[in-house]
């Protein structure tokens, strides 16, 4: 396990990297990221109100970690989990409202900055390909899509996610911009044409997918991304990336109920994305890493 000094040093390294990228013109400085102070207090109160239920699940039975009441709509079985032990999993309005605050607490305020690092390879991809369409797979509450539209307001973007509740939050976040579509669907069976997109982003999805679904999602991303297009992938560190963190990574799925995370830790991502993709770059991002792959002709 890394000690507190190492964690804080690496967190500060991410903050410095974030601002270097702003200074270099990769993306604009974030503004109004957390809303008003009163809204932040409301989110904090809601987070603590749910915390006792989270702790009961953390120390309870495996049955307490799955959704027992089938929500409206059709969802794959792997998705019916109370991820992070939070009430309702990803399938309710209250869950969608508290998710962003929860992950910022989890990562010590670093979640938004880690996501923002994906804008670095995205800038290069858009400069190479010009205007086109971007797909954000598993867009969640739309935090990254909002960052994309702040920096590229004329870019046509599509967000895909399984949760209609998270899409509702995303819709509010991107409401100021045109050329945005939000669609309910799965990464393993996407409702898009072959070669429809010039760039695809996939942020913090693969550690929440079973291994067979990961491979189906790779096949679908390969299908919808044009030859020469860029895939930008952000997810957790894996075993061996930062050896001092390996113990913490092993403990993470136990502490935060990520049932497919252990299999992700040992997934060979370059092998997973081949054939069909060539790795172009890797960028560290604290507990995460950013990888970019070009779709082969």
Instruction: Check: pTM over 0.85? Answer yes or no.
Output: yes
Q: What does the pLDDT average to over 278-295? A: 97
Contact 176, 31 (CB under 8 A): no
- Distance, in Å, from the CA atom of 178 to the CA atom of 119, rounded to the nearest integer, reads 20
pLDDT tens, residue by residue, 18-42: 999 999 999 999 986 666 788 878 8
Q: Does domain 4-33+109-295 have CATH number 3.40.50.150?
A: yes
For 13-16, the CB contacts below 8 A with 24+ separation are 13/286, 14/110, 14/113, 14/114, 14/285, 14/286, 15/110, 15/113
Q: Which residue has the higher pLDDT, 33 or 159?
A: 159
* pLDDT at position 83: 92
pLDDT tens, residue by residue, 95-138: 999 999 999 998 999 999 999 999 999 999 998 766 689 999 99
pLDDT tens, residue by residue, 163-220: 999 999 999 999 999 999 999 999 999 999 999 999 999 999 999 999 999 999 999 9
Q: Give all strands (DSSP E) within the chain, no chain letters.
A: 133-137, 156-161, 180-184, 197-203, 225-236, 277-285, 288-295
* pLDDT at position 131: 65
Domain layout of the chain by residue ranges: 4-33+109-295
Residues making up the chain, counted from first to last: 297
pLDDT tens, residue by residue, 39-82: 878 888 888 888 888 888 888 888 888 887 767 778 999 999 99
Q: Cβ neighbours of residue 243 under 8 Å, at least 6 residues apart?
A: none
Contact 292, 125 (CB under 8 A): yes
* pLDDT at position 46: 84
């Amino acid at each position: 396990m890394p000690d507190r000094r190492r964690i804080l040093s690496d967190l500060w390294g991410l903050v410095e990297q974030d601002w270097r990228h702003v200074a270099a013109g990769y993306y604009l400085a974030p503004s109004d990221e957390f809303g008003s102070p009163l809204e932040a207090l409301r989110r904090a109160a809601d987070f603590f109100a749910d915390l006792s239920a989270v702790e009961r699940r953390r120390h309870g039975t495996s049955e307490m970690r799955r959704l027992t009441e089938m929500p409206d709509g059709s969802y794959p079985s792997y998705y019916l989990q109370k991820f992070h032990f939070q009430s309702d999993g990803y399938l309710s309005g209250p869950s969608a409202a508290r998710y962003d605050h929860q992950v910022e607490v989890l990562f010590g305020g670093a979640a938004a900055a880690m996501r923002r690092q994906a804008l670095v390879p995205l800038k290069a991809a858009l400069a190479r390909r010009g205007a086109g369409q971007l797909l954000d797979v598993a867009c969640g509450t739309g935090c990254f899509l909002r960052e994309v539209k702040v920096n590229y307001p004329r870019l046509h973007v599509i967000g895909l996610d399984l949760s209609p509740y998270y899409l509702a939050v995303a819709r509010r976040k991107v409401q100021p911009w045109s050329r945005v579509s939000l669609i309910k669907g799965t990464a393993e069976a996407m409702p898009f044409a072959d070669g429809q997109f010039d760039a695809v982003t996939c942020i913090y999805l693969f550690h929440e997918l079973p291994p067979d679904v990961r491979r189906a999602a790779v096949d679908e991303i390969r299908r919808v991304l044009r030859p020469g297009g860029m895939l930008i992938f952000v997810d957790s560190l894996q075993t061996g990336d930062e050896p001092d963190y390996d113990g913490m990574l092993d403990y993470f799925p136990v502490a935060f109920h990520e049932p497919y995370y252990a299999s992700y830790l040992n997934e060979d991502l370059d092998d997973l994305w081949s054939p069909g993709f060539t790795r172009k770059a890797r960028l560290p991002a604290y507990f995460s890493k950013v990888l970019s792959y070009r779709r082969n002709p």
